[in-house]
Chains A and B, each alone.
Chain A
């Protein structure tokens, strides 16, 4: 048990969560981070799917890493990921159809999410299954943290709701508060993410990124 949570493994997990966050520090997986965050619910579903797929594909690739010929490794990685994404997309249609309609092509685009390829190349090809699994979960959660914070800001200020439930009371509107429709537009997602990344850098400024 002590080996399972050794120092290296813990580092693989927590580094990805904060200091070496996939979105803020490594700039991976931005596309979906921006497109699905206009509301909180799709953002959470998306981050859950990505976390599962990163962890599972990390484990699978790390199990077969010694048998993969170096030249065709990208294609093998893509096939593993594509198979997992197909399974997730079918499951999502069965369990939560309305969210899967909202996410539309972005479920399929998890295949080309750079976090996956980045982690497979940089970590799973060189490490054992258990630490790869932790690394996958850590990166998935790091991705989720950003997705959910952007989704939170955009839904709260864009439509005054969280999970589709009105949060801002009516009396605030009668004082002249207006929802900022701009927040639901794609452009604001970029600006919010830019500010979040700057904040992340400011908090980690003692460490050299």
Chain B
């Protein structure tokens, strides 16, 4: 229980997807113009993460590393993971279109692009790495429950980061920024400052 809680908190703050490993930057920068849309994208990312990471965990443990007929198939992991992710994203796209057309049009091209969002693929690849870690490490993923908790935590971390940046950018619209820095340049510097703030979690021991 303690281990699970520690994994959860760590994946939100210490191993934050955006600030510690820069995953999912493209849509993070492009969609964070207002809080409402970015919240929608964050929830979609959490959902896709929570479905794909456990599926990929099972694939990795039961099929790839165990092997079919004794063959080690782990070199197929990239292709299998991305196929699972692309399939699930298609599903989410259909669900969002059915239940929330306004969010669907606001997210636009970025909804299908969740499939190529590094955060999703990255979570699966980190999960693959963490299976092999020592069981005493607080990053260890030892079962499908841990995989689910890790996915949920990283999703929440991503949501926090994008909503925070969107809130700052909404305020920033009223400030005067030097011409070359306008738009992207100042956004990067803002994210850098946010990352510095998040760095103080890195000594966190739970």
Contact = CB atoms under 8 A, between A and B. Distances in A.
A108 B78 contact: yes
A78 interface: yes
A83 B80 CA distance: 10
Contact of B181 (A28, A186, A194, A205): A194
Interface in B89-120: 112-113, 115-118, 120
A79 B181 contact: no
Given A187-B192, A187-B193, A187-B196, A105 B184 contact: no
A198 B192 CA distance: 15
Contact of A108 (B24, B115, B121): B121
Nearest to B87: A75
B196 A195 contact: no
A83 to B, nearest CB: 6
B57 to A, nearest CB: 15
A29 B117 CA distance: 10
A35 interface: yes
A112 interface: yes
Interface string B166-206: 00000000000011110011111101110110010000000
Interface residues of A, number: 43
Interface stretch (B15-23, B48-56, B133-141): B15-23
A27 B30 contact: yes
Nearest to B21: A35
Interface stretch (A6-14, A56-64, A85-93, A141-149): A85-93
Contacts of B75: 86, 90
Contact of B129 (A105, A190, A202): A105
Contact of A104 (B86, B118, B129): B129
Nearest to A83: B79
A112 B178 CA distance: 33
Interface in A15-57: 27-32, 34-35
Contacts of A187: 19, 192-193, 195-196, 199
A199 B180 contact: yes
Interface string A141-185: 000000000000000000000000000000000000000000001
Interface of A: 27-32, 34-35, 74-75, 78-79, 82-83, 85-86, 89-90, 104-105, 108-109, 111-114, 117, 185-191, 193-195, 197-199, 201-202, 205
22 contacts: A30-B22, A30-B29, A32-B118, A34-B22, A78-B83, A78-B115, A82-B78, A85-B78, A89-B78, A105-B122, A105-B126, A111-B121, A117-B116, A185-B199, A186-B22, A186-B199, A188-B192, A189-B22, A194-B188, A194-B192, A198-B185, A202-B179
Q: Which 8 pairs between the two chains have the least Cβ-Cβ distance? A: A194-B188, A190-B192, A198-B185, A191-B192, A187-B195, A30-B25, A105-B125, A202-B180
